[in-house]
Amino acid sequence: MTISRAQFQALLEPKISNIWNEVYPQRPVEWKSFCNTRNTSKARITDYKLTDFGPLVLKGEGEDIVYMDPAGGQEKVYTPVRFAGGYKITQEMIDHELYGQVDEWEGRLIKSAIDGQEVTAALLLNGAFGTVGADGYSPTGFDGLQLCTTAHTRLDGGANQANRPATDADLGLSSLQAAVIAYHNWKDDRGRPAMYRPMKLVVSPEDVFTARELLGSEYKPGTANNDINALREEGLTYMVSHYKTDTDAWFLIGDRTDLNFIWDVQPRQAMKEDFDAEVIRRKIVQGFAVGFGEWRGVYGSQG
């Protein structure tokens, strides 16, 4: 389709008092609050994982030192894809439109691009409990499993670990405390205590008041006693994700994560004029890959 005067007669006449698009605000970008960002110029990006050395062993007098190797070999591959869109408009429509909407439309391509970023980045949350991929999104990590599971493996072959509850629970005092405790109990790939600190609770709008009560109450939420709210000492904050589709799922994000948004092409706009037809074409192109390698630093529950 080509935007022409016949489609938007109202914009050609001086009778309109207000146009809603002029006052509609753009929501702040959310995905940057839980994703790491980097750039690439490659068609395929590979991350690699390996461990530290194992524990020291007893050396008897006169005996040789036992030498060790780090364990490794797990890879995570990202393949960026590109998304694009645009519109065509006649020169007559540009010349005769009275309300500045034609000038706004180019900027609104950016809005579409940002929405696409948000939807794909939110798959890190919406797809965290399964292994279904999508364009630009890779659903499994270094261990070949989904982001949140009770069966994450270790490179040294040690006991599996969980970053979700054995039985999913709605956001509440006991479930959030269990998530914090899980952070303290995680082991690295050599079985040593892993240093990850929970920082940010990610919830849907339906859980915003629960999150506020849990993190802001001076006393223990939901009781008539004067017990302190021990969660306040954790210094957690929260954010509302408007692109998370499971309204009772929630996530506790740590100080270090491997949730990655890898740019191939940041939003790039261009235009071209058809000299004879006097039709202007405008486009926007962006390319990226979204995914994760390491699961530690994220705890989630489907609610």
DSSP secondary structure string for all residues of 189-220: TTSSBP---EEEEEE-GGGHHHHHHHHH-SB-
Mean pLDDT computed over 223-227 = 67
The confidence band for 279, taking pLDDT boundaries of 50, 70 and 90, is: very high
pLDDT at 24 over 70: no
Burial letters for 25-34: b for 16+ Cβ neighbours within 10 Å, e otherwise?
eeeeebbeeb
Tokens for 234, please give them. 């954790």
Q: What is the mean pLDDT of residues 49-66?
A: 92
The arrangement of secondary structure in 31-51+73-301, i.e. its CATH architecture, is Alpha-Beta Complex (3.90)
105 pLDDT more than 90 = no
Give the range among 69-73, 77-81, 271-275 with minimum mean pLDDT.
69-73
**Average pLDDT of span 66-90:** 92
Q: Could you tell me the pLDDT band of residue 226, with boundaries at 50, 70 and 90?
A: low
pTM of the model: 0.90
Note whether 246 and 206 are within 8 A (CB). Answer: no
Domain range annotation of the chain: 31-51+73-301
